[in-house]
Amino acid sequence: MTQTMVLDIKDYSLTYQTQSGPIRILENINLQIAKGEVLGLVGESGSAKSSLAYSVMRDLPGQVEMETGSMWLKGEDLMTMDEEELMHRRGKQISMVFQNAATALDPTQSLGDHVEETLQAHQAVSKLNKSKQETLKRVYELFELVGLPDPILMAKKYPHEVSGGEKQRVVLAMAISSNPDLILFDEPTSALDATTAVNMLDLFAEMQKKIGVAGLFISHDLGVVAEVADRVAVIYGGRIVEVATVEDLFANPKHPYTQSLLASLPRPSDIRYKRGLKIDEGTPPPRRGAVPNCNFSHRCPKHDPAICDHSRVLLEIQDDRKLACVRPDVAVNEEQARSSDILPPTTDIVLEVKNLTVKLGRASLLSELLNKEATQVHAVNNIDLKIHRGETVSLVGESGCGKSSLARALVGLNPFEGELCLNGCDIKALDAAYRADVQIIFQNPDSSLNPRHTLETILSRAIKLYRPDIAVKERSEAIQKLLEQVRLPAHYRNRYPHQLSGGEKQRVAIARAIAADPKVIICDEITSGLDAAVQAAIVALLRQIQQDTGVALLFITHDLAILRHIAHRTAVMYLGEIIETRSIAGLDHAPYHPYTEALLSSASSPDPKTETRQVRLKGSLPVRTSLLTGCGFESRCPRRIGDICHEQPAPIKSTAESSHILKCHHEIVDLERIEPVWKFT
Amino acid sequence: MLFLIKTLRALMRNPQGAIGTVLVFLLLLISVFGPFLAPQDPESFNFGSRFAPPSAEFLFGTDWFGRDLFSRILVGARSTVLLAILATFIGTASGALIGIFSGFVGGWVDELIMRTIDAIMAIPGLLLALMILTVLGSSSLNAVIAIGVAFAPGMARISRSTTLAVRELDYVSAARARGESKLWIIFSEILPNMVAPVIVEATIRVAFAIMTLATLSFLGLGAQPPSPEWGLMIADAREHMFRSPWPILAPGISIALVAIAFNLLGDGLRDVLNPHSQE
């Protein structure tokens, strides 16, 4: 390496002091980022990837016990600088793009002021006194650069008046405003919808080309990293285990952890090649006490004490990459899991929804007295949906499309209009029997399990309410059986939710749902917050439960990649309407609804065997408080025909495939001619 | 019971909590056994030693009648501290229940309750207590009730806002979806998760309660002389302030100590009652 690196981290280790003793955060980190290069940093939650970003910013949140090594930014050691010197570098030489743009922006400042302030702060440092006019001109330039429409108007707006994607663009404009040498991206697209996230990724890549800044791109999502990074570093338990170019890493991962990580990620080609997902819910490596020589050894399939435990395994150059493994060439007898066929569903309808409408919002007492019309959001509009026994229907769509409102309405948490039909009977009121038959699992187990109840209390309530046939004395046994069913050890019954890992908590939520022996379980984004390996395990568990009990699942998600491993059919929602229903088996073939096409295209995935055709959405969403005259997707549709889309509601059309319906003004024949989203090689 | 022991143990590990717990424990001991520990009769006059500074005989000195201040503080602790705790308890419990109910039910019931509370809060706390006392007549117990009622609106607001935050969480939704009774949801799902800020607020209010009790006694509406209630002692000593500072300093410092003790305990409890810090 002859050229000077923008960032050169040499043998950096960090230990925090906590109440219960020192805890190792980062160990022997060696990383280089060259000018104009983007290094992706991937790892599961808790792997200390964000801590690394904070160390580079020299803004550590914890109480430092020990910090060694050095960190060179363009030939200057950041670790020896004092606070004042660092202040001149933060924002000027290194800037950061945070995960959540909504909280990174000050709600009381206009978007233009945000960028202006950053510009002024750093001009003061360089003693460049530009006039107000020039500063504003630069603000508009930056806004244009990050693709914000109408910069002059945008600069006057406040954060709450723009969309999430636009906020993230403003944060990016702030980050590049002072021409930094290095930008740290901390999960910048995780909080965005898939269709918005791909636009952001395109923008990062484009920006990168234009200004040639170096970047450290942190993400838990390998697919996202594959889109933007040149090289990828894989971090596991605070140590870098493998660094390679994107192509090399995805085509031929060498570290057993990287292999396991990739094996548990779903790919678009999975149905075609009958590829299953690897389930590996290993425990994270120890962060306290004795230092293991290789921190993956406790779950490594090829761990050999004689070789691996001999001395500390460090990151070393091996062929085309850097690797922290002493026996990478040893083949393990481990094949990629095969996908077992999902059992076909039966034909008897278990739950039928007819003309269901959900309106949110309530008038306050005062406006009711003044006879003011309440502004209501039409969250769900006239939805029809059938679920068969033993079937999994996935409901996909971006945030705010009404997926969760529908789910909450079905379990009686949102008032609704329309008809419900369970097991052939019309449901007049959501009584105890109905509630027992239709269960819900929420997205975030941190908030869906009461932190002050033990698992025993949590599970026994469900049994008490739904299973009057189980006597009080037998409840304890029933709880044990439930824990067994979700593969949790029996002694967990006395634990509190915060003593469990994310995946285990979600298992408890599943156990609570199946306690009632329900007919339908509504899974509201239940795998969204989980790491890929844990997600694979939860999906496998749900399939097992479905196989054993014949329960029907309504699997709500915004992650399209996982659908192939769980669902029979998918319903795509947009602005409160189901715009397309189709079987998963036919997912790879046209015709698509134009929105489905864009949604499928934006699911990023590191699959060397697949080429994804790019479809990008522009434009903004219409207001939700009034009913639309035409098609809801009209404002963003890349295949908009003309005024007919705005004036008339899209007709329902069925295609050659039996269960495939879509709502669009286009003729099915025309949609059939569209190229498929994926090309498999 | 197990929960209590666990909380205590965790409190002792927290520096603020440990000091607060020890101080409050000592205070309670004094409140209960004070009259037995007092070396002298709190109401006996020693005309030979009026305004005496602290000495071996009179630890805290004496007042204008030559009464032993140390004995008066010890005996007065019971009425002052216990009454203040009782007043705070009345205010906290009633306020918290109103707040939870209002926040959980929501809708126009909530608005009705909260607007009424807004109206009550527009009247200063002391004035409200005075009004209540005028109706009930003046006595220590009535003063306690008056202070409790005056505290309730503030507590109701705090508990309502925490209830609103907790109510939106998925475990409450989950309980509603599985058809739990309202009582179970309020007392088992919501209450344990909003009790921490309420307890912290309550411990801070104990100090206020002592001050308000003192003020009411000072105005002649609470304890009556020659009762050794601390607030009353300060009020009476005011006339003699320039002859000797001890009659004011002794009860003044005692009240300050009580306030500090409860505040420390409150800080400790806030950390300990956070479920994520319980291991």
pLDDT at residue B278, as a whole number: 47
Cβ-defined contact of A512 to B174 (cutoff 8 Å): yes
Looking at residue B47, the DSSP 8-state letter turns out to be G
Q: For A275-298, how does the pLDDT look when each residue is reduced to its tens digit (9 = 90+)?
A: 888 887 777 788 888 888 888 888
- Positive or negative, the CA dihedral B252, B257, B262, B263 is positive
Q: Which of B57, B79, B81 is nearest to B68 (CA)?
A: B57
What total of structural domains would you count in chain A? 3
A432 neighbourhood in chain B, CB within 8 Å: 179
Cβ-defined contact of A435 to B176 (cutoff 8 Å): no
B61-277 CATH pick, 1.20.1440.120, 1.10.3720.10, 1.10.10.10, 3.40.50.300: 1.10.3720.10
Q: Nearest CA of chain B to the CA of A364: how many Å?
A: 8
- Calpha distance A195→B191 (Å, rounded): 41
Question: Is residue A117 one of the residues assigned to a domain?
Answer: no
Asked if residue A324 and residue A239 are part of one domain, the reply reads yes
Q: Nearest CA of chain B to the CA of A365: how many Å?
A: 6
Asked if residue A511 and residue A441 are part of one domain, the reply reads yes
Q: Are A230 and A204 in contact (CB under 8 A)?
A: no
Question: Residue range A360-375: average pLDDT?
Answer: 68
Domain boundary among A533, A556, A584: A584
Cβ-defined contact of B179 to A362 (cutoff 8 Å): no
Structure tokens at A26: 């980062």
Q: For A654-664, how does the pLDDT look when each residue is reduced to its tens digit (9 = 90+)?
A: 888 878 888 88
Q: What is the CATH number of the domain that holds A489?
A: 3.40.50.300
End-to-end CA distance of chain A: 36
Domain boundary among A302, A323, A339: A339
- Calpha distance B77→B42 (Å, rounded): 12
Asked if residue A501 and residue A536 are part of one domain, the reply reads yes
Q: List the single best residue of B114, B116, B178, B199 to mutate versus A (max A Cβ within 10 A).
A: B178
Binding-face residues of A in 455-474 toward B, CB within 8 A? 461-462, 465-466
| B101-108 contact pairs (CB < 8 A, 24+) | B101/B186, B102/B156, B102/B160, B102/B163, B103/B159, B103/B160, B103/B161, B103/B162, B103/B163, B103/B164, B103/B167, B104/B163, B104/B167, B104/B182, B104/B185, B104/B186, B104/B190, B106/B167, B107/A362, B108/A365, B108/A368
Asked if residue A615 and residue A562 are part of one domain, the reply reads no
- Calpha distance B65→B48 (Å, rounded): 9
Indicate the SS3 state at residue A387.
strand
The residues spanned by each domain of chain B are 61-277
Asked if residue A534 and residue A502 are part of one domain, the reply reads yes
Q: Are A468 and A548 in contact (CB under 8 A)?
A: no
Tokens 């002050």 locate to: A452
Cβ-defined contact of A462 to B178 (cutoff 8 Å): yes
- Calpha distance A358→A409 (Å, rounded): 7
Question: Is residue A360 one of the residues assigned to a domain?
Answer: no
Binding-face residues of B in 99-138 toward A, CB within 8 A? 107-108, 111-112
Q: Which of A566, A189, A577, A643 is nearest to A390 (CA)?
A: A566
- Calpha distance A418→B219 (Å, rounded): 65
Asked if residue A260 and residue A186 are part of one domain, the reply reads yes
Structure tokens at A33: 């980022």
Cβ-defined contact of B189 to A444 (cutoff 8 Å): no
Question: Is residue A278 one of the residues assigned to a domain?
Answer: yes
**pTM for this entry:** 0.83
Question: Is residue A667 one of the residues assigned to a domain?
Answer: yes
Indicate the SS3 state at residue A549.
helix
Asked if residue A544 and residue A593 are part of one domain, the reply reads no
Give the model's confidence band at A194: pLDDT under 50 very low, under 70 low, under 90 confident, else very high: confident
Q: Nearest CA of chain A to the CA of B173: how many Å?
A: 7
Give the model's confidence band at A523: pLDDT under 50 very low, under 70 low, under 90 confident, else very high: very high
Q: Nearest CA of chain B to the CA of A146: how many Å?
A: 36
pLDDT at residue A1, as a whole number: 44
Q: Are A261 and A234 in contact (CB under 8 A)?
A: yes
Q: What is the mean pLDDT of each run of 10 residues along chain B (279 residues)?
A: 76 86 90 82 78 78 82 85 90 93 88 92 87 85 89 92 89 87 89 84 84 80 78 82 85 87 85 63
Domain range enclosing A303: 1-81+180-197+206-339
Cβ-defined contact of A448 to B174 (cutoff 8 Å): yes
Helix axes A256-263, A532-549, angle to 10 degrees: 40
Closest in B107, B189, B278 to A450, CB measured: B189
Question: Is residue A150 one of the residues assigned to a domain?
Answer: no
Cβ-defined contact of A461 to B180 (cutoff 8 Å): yes
Tokens 């932190």 locate to: A451
Asked if residue A189 and residue A62 are part of one domain, the reply reads yes
Q: Give CA angle at A488 (A485, A494), nearest 5°.
A: 115
pLDDT at residue A129, as a whole number: 60
Cβ-defined contact of A362 to B107 (cutoff 8 Å): yes
B192 neighbourhood in chain A, CB within 8 Å: 450, 452
Q: Are A566 and A394 in contact (CB under 8 A)?
A: yes
Closest in A440, A442, A452 to B192, CB measured: A452
End-to-end CA distance of chain B: 17
- Portion of chain A with pLDDT greater than 90, in percent: 15
Q: Nearest CA of chain B to the CA of A511: how many Å?
A: 13
Closest in B177, B189, B278 to A435, CB measured: B177
Q: For A600-614, how does the pLDDT look when each residue is reduced to its tens digit (9 = 90+)?
A: 888 777 776 777 888
Cβ-defined contact of B176 to A413 (cutoff 8 Å): yes
Indicate the SS3 state at residue A584.
coil
CB of A447 within 8 Å of any CB in chain B? yes
Closest in B112, B170, B278 to A444, CB measured: B170
Domain boundary among A533, A566, A584: A584
pLDDT at residue A554, as a whole number: 94
Asked if residue A573 and residue A594 are part of one domain, the reply reads no
ipTM over cut 0.90: no
Question: Residue range A473-479: average pLDDT?
Answer: 90
